[in-house]
Amino acid sequence: MRLLSALIAIPLLLALLYLGPAWGWALFLALALAVGAIELFGMTHPLDRASRILGVLLSLGVMATLWFFTTNAAALVALAFLLPTAALFITLARLGSIETAALRAMAMGFGPLYLGGGLGSLALLRRDGLDSGPGFVLLALVLSWFSDTGAYFAGRFLGKHKLYEAVSPKKTVEGALGGLAAAVLGAVAGHYVYLKSLPLTHAIVLGLVAGGLGQAGDLAESMIKRSAGVKDSGGIVPGHGGILDRVDALMVTGTFTYIYVLFFWPRP
């Protein structure tokens, strides 16, 4: 089922990415963001439907702000100032159990940035990467997919030492190293095949940094799920669990790939 889902989804994603407009890709990501927000706030606010809806709206608001006001420093500062305040006020209005109020307030402030920024970065990559935009999004996808696949096979056949048992009992140090090597391989392939505007040395460094931090993003989502007492964030993707289960590493690789494009990419 996992393989069948991938065989169907990947060609459709690539067609939308390369053949569709940047705003079409952004709308697709906004839909994925909405589902991911439903999953996240379903874990953090399981008994409060109104707060879950507000969490989804705030997450979409973060992505919209990043899309429409990317170069407007005042709007971005306003977002950084207003979001934590909104999270506190929402929690005051939807108090519920006082014992969990502080954690829910922090989740309401963190969640929209985590999701809106993570998936929003993939929309910005497509738009702001100019002609190389689709290639940079593909690079972020490859860093995530290769890292996950390399970690799986390296851990399966070579894994002996636990990586972080309290968070993810099956992950191993050997698997993490295999995932890192696979991420670098995917980035180097990008330089030669689908993203020739990416210098080779930059590809290697980006593979190491974004690939490694992508694995940390995977661990972070496992921490959230384990804390909430759930195995999968949802069940929308057959054989893969929820949206968050599929994009936990991708949101990190996308974020750091976009930061690279903003500050370090030698534009043609």
Q: pLDDT value at position 24?
A: 96
Does residue 268 lie within any of the structural domains?
Answer: no
| Banded pLDDT at 2 (limits 50, 70, 90) | low
pLDDT the model gives residue 1 = 58
267: pLDDT confidence band, cut at 50, 70 and 90? confident
For residue 61, give Cα distances in angstroms to 80, 123, 180, 200, 232: 12, 14, 33, 36, 26
Residue 239 lies in a domain: yes
Whole-model pTM? 0.91
What's the pLDDT tens digit per position in 214-249?
999 999 999 999 898 888 787 766 555 789 988 999
Q: Is residue 12 part of a domain?
A: yes
Between 228 and 84, residue with greater pLDDT: 84
Number of domains into which the chain is organized: 1
Q: What is residue 235's predicted lDDT score, i.e. its pLDDT?
A: 72
- For residue 5, the model assigns a pLDDT of 63
For the residues of the chain, what is the DSSP string, one character each? -HHHHHHHHHHHHHHHHHHS-HHHHHHHHHHHHHHHHHHHHHHH-TT-HHHHHHHHHHHHHHHHHHHHSTT-HHHHHHHHHHHHHHHHHHHHHT---HHHHHHHHHHHHHHHHHHHHHHHHHHHHHHHTGGGHHHHHHHHHHHHHHHHHHHHHHHHHH--SEEETTTEEEEEHHHHHHHHHHHHHHHHHIIIII-TTS-HHHHHHHHHHHHHHHHHHHHHHHHHHHHHT-SSS-SSBTTTB-HHHHHHHHHHHHHHHHHHHHHT----
Answer yes or no: is 237 within a domain.
yes
Mean pLDDT of the chain: 92
What pLDDT score was predicted for residue 240? 59
Which pLDDT value is given to residue 231?
A: 83
Q: Is residue 184 part of a domain?
A: yes
What is the residue range of 158's domain? 2-263
- pLDDT 10s digits, 5-24: 667 778 888 899 999 999 99
What is the pLDDT at residue 65? 97
The residue-averaged pLDDT of 76-98 equals 95
pLDDT of residue 193 exceeding 60: yes
